């Protein structure tokens, strides 16, 4: 499996990043370990999580995903050096435990390192924009972590083109490290947030791009075709927004390419992202071994120019 360079970080990753949001949410620790073992065996090497995962689950407080990953590293210590570990800071645990201030980043990184049972994070991302904190303060806090060896590289999630450009300008002016990776929402259905100015900026600046919601929370796998299907998973309740003529046209185009490629709809949707020159590697989750094998297969799938054009047109 040919690895891709993640922006200017020097980190080499397989062309798919495993989403760790499911660990402790829809899969327990034992099942998570099984999936993580299969992930390494498949030749994949980048895992994305966040300090806040999975605080949305009743009875959870955040940190559950990082804790499971940390326990896996502890039981299989050789795997830590095989993995590019990505986590995020900035989501709200409490009114005084959120955002991108120097104070909170300094505390949050220690909390993440403790849960992850490691001495460094390979790629540390700001999770959300924080309009109350100047970019110089945030980047200065990240700079201190890089110099201390606790973080290898930094990036940002959910910035638009104006915000990313402002952060790059602030970094240059203050002589601070810049965001080298962007994590935007981007998939065959949700394209407006990335395509255009933001895609042009990341391409021009050589910034790595690892999109999340690559399968539109499962919609692009084709398992949700009507309201009757919404009860299949905890994410089913969010499928109604995709059930419109455009969403159905996208599924129809995926059905056609899936048939021609002898591949699943999800594999085709991920291959479409991988065919985009501005994308380094999409993020996708798995909750069972069949799905994990499918993620690995997607990295080997090459769409024809006509197939990419068909999908582009359906999702335009």
As given in the structure block, the two tokens for residue 279 are 């994308």
Residues of 221-259 as b/e, b for ≥16 C-beta within 10 angstroms? bbebeeeeeeeebeebeebeebbeeebeebbebbeebbe
User: Given the structure tokens 């303060």, which residue do they identify?
Assistant: 137
Task: Give, in order, the Cα–Cα distances in Å from 167 to each of 102, 163, 184.
Answer: 16, 6, 15
Contacts of 52 (CB under 8 A, 6+ apart): 62, 63, 88, 91, 92, 93, 127
Active-site residues, by number, are: 53
CA distance 142 to 124: 8
Give me the pLDDT at residue 224, please: 77
User: In the chain, which stretches have pLDDT less than 70?
Assistant: 226-237
- Please determine, looking at this structure, whether the domain spanning 4-221+267-303 carries the CATH number 3.20.20.100: yes
Give me the pLDDT at residue 86, please: 98
Give me the pLDDT at residue 228, please: 60
pLDDT digits 0-9 by tens, 165-197: 999 999 999 999 999 999 999 999 999 999 999
For 253, which DSSP code? Answer: H
Task: Give, in order, the Cα–Cα distances in Å from 226 to each of 31, 189, 213, 216, 231.
Answer: 29, 17, 20, 15, 10
CA distance 96 to 86: 24
The model scores a pTM over 0.75: yes
Q: Are 189 and 216 in contact (CB under 8 A)?
A: yes
């Amino acid at each position: 499996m040919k690895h891709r360079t993640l922006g200017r970080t020097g980190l080499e990753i397989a062309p798919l990043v495993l989403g760790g949001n499911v660990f402790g949410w829809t899969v327990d620790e034992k099942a998570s370990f099984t999936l993580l073992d299969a992930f390494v065996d498949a030749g994949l090497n980048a895992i994305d999580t966040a300090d806040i995962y999975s605080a949305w689950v009743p009875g959870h407080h955040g940190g559950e995903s990082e804790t499971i990953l940390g326990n896996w590293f502890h039981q299989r210590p050789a795997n830590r050096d095989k993995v590019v570990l990505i986590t995020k800071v900035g989501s709200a645990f409490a009114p005084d435990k959120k955002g991108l201030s120097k104070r909170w980043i300094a505390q949050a990184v220690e909390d993440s390192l403790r849960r992850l049972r490691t001495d460094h994070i390979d790629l540390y991302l700001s999770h959300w924009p924080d309009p109350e904190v100047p970019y110089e303060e945030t980047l200065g806090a990240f700079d201190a972590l890089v110099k201390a060896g606790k973080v290898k590289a930094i990036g940002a999630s959910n910035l638009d083109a104006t915000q990313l450009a402002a952060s790059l300008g602030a970094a240059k002016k203050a002589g601070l490290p810049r965001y080298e990776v962007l994590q935007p929402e981007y998939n065959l259905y949700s394209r407006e947030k990335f395509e255009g100015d933001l895609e042009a900026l990341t391409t021009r600046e050589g910034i790595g791009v690892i999109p999340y919601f690559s399968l539109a929370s499962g919609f692009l796998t084709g398992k949700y075709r009507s309201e009757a299907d919404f009860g299949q998973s905890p994410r089913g309740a969010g499928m109604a927004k995709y059930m419109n003529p455009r969403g159905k046209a996208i599924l129809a185009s995926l059905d056609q390419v899936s048939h021609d490629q002898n591949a699943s709809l999800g594999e085709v949707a991920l291959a479409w992202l991988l065919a985009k020159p501005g994308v380094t590697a999409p993020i996708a989750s798995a909750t069972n071994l069949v799905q994990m094998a499918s993620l690995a297969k997607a990295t080997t799938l090459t769409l024809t120019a006509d197939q990419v054009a068909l999908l582009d047109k359906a999702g335009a």
